[in-house]
């Protein structure tokens, strides 16, 4: 059944059961890759909160979780926007860090933010994203774990919003164009 949010119509795209199965597969992969490494999972708010919670509860290895929010502001450099992390209190030195994102669209956000992570000298950094849109990618960002690669269409639900709404929908919807 289609749903209406503000002025747009969205149609069912990926069911909760399919999401659950893929998140389980990703968790199994991370369990295997990080056994004995006690990774620090860092969820990027707001969009990743649901995916991060689902993924994290399926980890059976020792792991820690923390959340950050990215704030982008106009910097003084010629490159324009600067992205800074709010709430990053953990010492990343020597840690195995897994950044958890809802979606890599153009890649701009993570591209701008990753240097801040690397500057803190973690032992390793990987990116786990729920979605990526390969056709929309404009920056050199690559996910190490990706649940679904999708077409370049606007999606809603499972933590992702349209103008603040729809984050609570437990499955994924896609914008209906007609």
Q: Could you give the residue numbers annotated as active site?
A: 105
Report in angstroms how near the CB of residue 32 gets to ligand IMP at its nearest.
27
Nearer to ligand IMP, 54 or 102 (CB): 102
Asked if 43 touches Mg ion (CB under 5 A), the answer is: no
107 binds, among ligand IMP, Mg ion, none (CB under 5 to 8 A by kind): ligand IMP
**Of 9, 7, 13, 16, residue with least CA distance to 168:** 16
Asked if 159 touches Mg ion (CB under 5 A), the answer is: no
Q: Which residue in the block uniquely carries the two structure tokens 């803190």?
A: 120
Q: Which of 47, 157, 159, 166 binds Mg ion (CB under 5 A)?
A: 47
Spatial separation of the C-alpha atoms in residues 26 and 21, rounded to whole Å: 9
Nearer to Mg ion, 26 or 131 (CB): 131
3: Cβ–Cβ under 8 A, 6 or more apart, which residues? 9, 10, 169, 173
Report in angstroms how near the CB of residue 155 gets to Mg ion at its nearest.
12
Spatial separation of the C-alpha atoms in residues 57 and 74, rounded to whole Å: 37
Nearer to ligand IMP, 34 or 56 (CB): 56
| Residue 4 CA from chain centroid, whole number | 25
* Per-residue x/- track, 91-130, Mg ion (CB under 5 A): -----------x----------------------------
Q: What is the 3-state secondary structure (H, E, C) of 77-146?
A: CCCCEEEEEECCCCCCCCCEEEEEEEEECCCHHHHHHHHHHHHCCCCEEEEEEEEECHHHCCCCCCCCEE
- Enumerate binding residues for ligand IMP (CB under 6 A): 47, 101-109, 154-155, 160
Report in angstroms how near the CB of residue 12 gets to ligand IMP at its nearest.
15
Report in angstroms how near the CB of residue 154 gets to ligand IMP at its nearest.
4
Nearer to Mg ion, 47 or 122 (CB): 47
SS3 content of the chain, % helix, strand, coil (to 5): 25, 35, 40
> Which residues are near Mg ion by CB under 5 A?
47, 102
């Amino acid at each position: 059944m289609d749903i209406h949010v503000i002025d747009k119509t969205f149609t069912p795209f990926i069911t909760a059961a399919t999401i659950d199965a893929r998140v389980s597969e990703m968790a199994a992969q991370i369990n295997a890759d990080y056994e004995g490494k006690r990774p620090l999972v860092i969820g990027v708010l707001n969009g990743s909160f649901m995916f991060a919670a689902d993924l994290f509860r399926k980890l059976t290895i020792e792991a820690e979780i923390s959340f950050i929010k990215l704030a982008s502001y106009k910097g003084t450099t010629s490159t324009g926007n600067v992205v800074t992390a709010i709430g990053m209190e953990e010492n990343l030195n020597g840690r195995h860090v897994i950044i958890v994102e809802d979606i890599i669209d153009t890649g701009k956000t993570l591209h701008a933010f990753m240097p801040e992570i690397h500057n803190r000298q973690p032992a390793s950094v990987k990116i786990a994203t729920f979605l990526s849109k390969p056709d929309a990618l404009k920056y050199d960002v690559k996910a190490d774990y990706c649940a679904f690669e999708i077409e370049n269409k606007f999606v809603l639900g499972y933590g992702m919003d349209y103008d603040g709404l729809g984050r609570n929908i437990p499955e994924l919807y896609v914008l209906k164009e007609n």
